[in-house]
Amino acid sequence: MIDLEFLERLIQAIDKSSLDSIEIERGGTRVRLAKTPPPAPQSALPVVAPAAASPALPEPTAAAAGTPPQSVAAPEAAPQASNLKEITSPMVGTFYRAPAPDAPSYVEKGARVSVGDTLCIIEAMKLMNELECDVEGTIVEILVENAQPVEYGQVLFRVDPA
């Protein structure tokens, strides 16, 4: 079994090195550490994209019916989503919306935020790390539930910078 102190030292060593990832097996336990997120979550997104292509089926029907506004509405939705700023997790840990269980959340959906505002806490290895906002705008989505585990690079919030 790999002890926690060994893992902490290993993480610090990787942070200071030019290595991107390392995998170690010790005592029947395998551990993989990486600075960049694995490519698997990215490959999951294109699987959703073909479902968005299904509006191509109604398009001939809409053209036959003479109602092109439906085909115009679908392309408008994509640009609106693209202007949102995604705030991602800088580390693996546990997501907390408030500084304490009985305290109010740092931000709620619809809240106006400024650069430097605290959005949440991510607990990693018993350390509480405040995540600060890097854009001014309005919180449009909070994608993680309180006390849920998060991965490096996982989208936590979407902010409309307008």
Instruction: Dump pLDDT digits (tens) for 20-61.
Output: 777 777 766 777 777 766 554 444 444 444 444 444 444 444
- The mean-pLDDT minimum among 18-22, 103-107, 157-161 falls in 18-22
**Phi-psi domain of 137 (left: phi exceeds 0; alpha: psi -120 through 50; beta: other):** left
The predicted pLDDT at position 22 comes to 75
* Lookup: tokens for 34: 């990486």
Angle between helix 69-82 and helix 58-65 axes, rounded to 10 deg: 140
| Domains, the chain | 4-34 (no CATH), 51-82 (no CATH), 85-160 (2.40.50.100)
DSSP secondary structure of 44-92: HHHHHHHHHTGGGTHHHHHHHHT-THHHHHHHHHHHHHHTSEEEE-SSS
DSSP reduced 3-state for 16:
helix
Q: What is the pTM of this model?
A: 0.51
Torsion sign, CA atoms 84, 85, 87, 90:
positive
CA distance 121 to 130: 4
Return the higher-pLDDT residue of 73 and 93: 93
